[in-house]
Amino acid sequence: MNSHPEYIPGFLELLTVLPEETFNYKIAARPERRRHFEKELTSQMEIALNILTACLNISELKEQVLEAFASWLRLKHGIPGSVLATHPLVLTALSSLNSDILSEASVNVVSELIHYTALGSSGGVSVQMPLIQVIVPQVMSLQVQLRDSSKDEEDVKAIARLFADMGDSYVELIATGSNEAMMIVNALLEVASLPEYDIASMTFNFWHSLQVILTKRNSNIPFGDEASVEAERNRRLQVFRQSYESLVSLVSFRVQYPQDYQDLSYEDLKEFKQTRYAVADVLTDAASVLCGDATLQILYMKLVEAVSYCGNEQSEWRPAEAALFCIRAISNYVSVVEANVMPQVMDLLSKLPHQPQLLQTVCLIIGAYSKWLDAAPSGFSKLPLVIDILMGGMRTSEDSAAAAALAFRHICDDCRKKLCAYCKQLFHIYYTAVNGEGSFKGTAEDSLHLVEALSMVITELPPEPAKDALEELCSSVVAPLQEVINLGPEVLEKKHARELTVHIDRFAYIFRYVNHPGAVADAIHRLWPMFKVIFDLRAWDMRTMESLCRACKYAVRTSGRFMGITIGAMLEEIQGLYQQHHQPCFLYLSSEVIKIFGSDPSCASYLKNMIEALFKHTTCLLTSIKEFTTRPDIADDCFLLASRCIRYCPQLFIPSTVFPALVDCSMIGITVQHREASNSVLTFLSDIFDLAKSSKGEQFLSIRDSVIILRGATITRILVAALTGALPNSRLETVAYTLLALTRAYGMQAVGWAKESVSLIPLTAVKEVERSRFLQSLSDAAAGADVNVLMSPVEELSDVCRRNRTVQEIVQGALKPLELNLVPVS
């Protein structure tokens, strides 16, 4: 060190980088090698720290020494807190915090020390108390610098980071509410009050963690009986009450629209919205501690003050909008019978100007407090007032119309029983907004909220009035569709899909939310001739078919077995059209039919014919991985339907001639890159392997085994290939579950198939010990061990085989999942 001082900076750089490489996953190292490397470094920790301590004597290298020290602290070093508390490196870092120019390296060291003292692997807070008692006073002495206007923003941010780290790491200690703890809380409140959002928001995670500890019933409060625990819990809530009240006042202003909001770029507007969501989360944390009604009282005072600005010459609406946004954020925490503040809030809403952003928030707050409108003594009396506001919102702007429609839906959902007597008025609102009788500014999607709203109220009506109301609601949708159909087939075929789906989607919402099975069954029976015309003439049009199948799906789901002969006509229609047009939506409609009617013996003949026809045609379409890639939606819906058949009608599906063909088809599609298609294929296979878990499926195990055992080795090999790189790493859990389900079903025979597969992988890619661990986990699965416990060796094999592109290509070249002979086994 003395003979070649010029080498020391480079040597320190090396000492800094070495621990960092432990966590650098860009390096293609085996998991075992990575663990060994970390263990090697940890064993040399004392030597490394001695070298760094020696380098402290060179003052110009102090910053670099501390950076290297911070890097080594990230290792699981296990040095006792009592040793670190007196270590020269620690003392140097702490003393550097108070230097005129704040050392970034010293902040990094102290931050790492704070994190280390809270780690479970280090023994936790109690064991590390000697070190904590050294760190906390030094960090607390920096509080005065938060208010120092001469301090650079980066320095303030670094100090705030240390306070936030203390809060996050020592939150359980702080939750005791001791005097020392409250000093840290007050410092964190000061950080939250700083004008820079990036700095203030560092504390948000602490306030949430503290709230969880204070409010959860099973918190580890060290007191005996339940009454003592509850008393201590209430004491703590009382101690922190004032802090959370201050927090509400400190953060609520941050949601206010900026003066130049109209000139904000897309990215800036997105960032502003994220800020509002983050503040809303903090407010809900405060409401959990204070209770919603108390939080509402604080925010109401801000609203009253803000409303006074709306009447001045500038008509400043932004503070009022901000206060309302905050009140909306805590709506789930306010009592539904609150009688002091909410009536006054509702009265104030009508006095606000119809500025678009403000009106949007007003409409949203009405929707958020719909349960209050239903339950509070004075709530329902406010309904005419709020309906007038919502109607104004529907006419003002697209955003306010969307908010008003959503609010109307919430009101009808929560006040449906009381609104039954006002059906005529609700229909008037619906016609005004949806049928163009008014100037509704919302989109077709927004109008669906109004359809849903009316449908939920109809659900609460007695059967006969409900049937009449449903007929009236359907008539308003039928009229424009019938008008198009009456123009003739040529016009119907040329219409843009949007002109049809805007009406058909309303049928879907009606059938979904009007919960009167008999009435919906009658409605679909009357509408079927019109639906059939659209099916026949627009079967080529995917968007129209998806919309129409969605409407039919909800009709089937709501009506169930009331559908009678209509279901037969529907099945016949989609079965015939699928042969010609291959629309995936015909398959998902069939899935719904299977779910409802799969166990009905009277439908067995219909369903068996449908299953065989649909699957036979699909297996002819999906004959190669290229076809799976080209038609992923068909693959997805086909295997979702197959899984439904296993669950609801195995008696029709498993003995059929299409079952072996579909298993062969699934083997082709396991490695399709489309996420949903791949998941559906893998779920279908795992459902087959888990058949013994089903009471209905148990009797078909011998048929299943006759199909699977002949193909077992090939299926296993493809699954191992998928596990080791043929599918993205994000599918690992699904692939692993399927492989373990296969192993549970076929025991040591499946382990033998897996052994054959992994033996194909060269030892240059996978070591024998890694193979053995993987096969042992499968053996444990075969013996009935918990699947979750077995995931680690499976994940390790996957990581080893994916560690770089060269290895991955070697593995896939050995397993050849796409070149296997997939000709059906006879």
The 10s digit of each residue's pLDDT in 514-564 is 999 999 999 999 999 999 999 999 999 999 999 999 999 999 999 988 988
Phi and psi dihedrals of 439, rounded to 5? -105, 65
Q: What is the pLDDT of residue 315?
A: 66
Cβ proximity of 175 and 155 under 8 Å? no
Nearest to 463 by CA among 526, 413, 516: 516
SS (H, E, C) 561-623: HHHCHHHHHHHHHHHHHHHHHCCHHHHHHHHHHHHHHCCCHHHHHHHHHHHHHHHHHHHHHCC
Length of the chain: 826
Q: What is the pLDDT of residue 824?
A: 45
Nearest to 689 by CA among 640, 749, 755, 740: 740
Nearest to 415 by CA among 461, 383, 386, 463: 383
Q: What is the pLDDT of residue 3?
A: 61
Cβ proximity of 360 and 400 under 8 Å? yes
Quick one: residue 134, left, alpha or beta (phi over 0 = left, psi -120 to 50 = alpha)? alpha
Residue 202 Cα distances to 46, 107, 115, 609, 799, angstroms: 34, 15, 15, 62, 34
Helices marked H in 97-225 — which ranges? 104-118, 124-127, 129-140, 153-169, 171-174, 179-193, 197-200, 204-215
**Sequence-ordered list of residues with C-beta below 8 angstroms from that of 559, at least 6 positions apart, any chain:** 511, 517, 518, 520, 521, 524
The Cα 410–Cα 430 span in angstroms is: 15
Encoded tokens for 571: 């099945």
Encoded tokens for 220: 């580890």
Please work out, in degrees rounded to the nearest 5, the angle formed at the alpha carbon of residue 571 by the alpha carbons of 695 and 609: 60
Placement of tokens 């560092």 in the chain: 202
Encoded tokens for 513: 């939310």
Cβ neighbour number for residue 107 with a 10 Å cutoff = 24
The Cα 448–Cα 582 span in angstroms is: 29
Give the chain's residues under pLDDT 50. Answer: 821-826
Helices marked H in 598-692 — which ranges? 604-621, 625-630, 632-648, 650-653, 658-669, 675-689
**Sequence-ordered list of residues with C-beta below 8 angstroms from that of 312, at least 6 positions apart, any chain:** none
Q: What is the pTM of this model?
A: 0.86
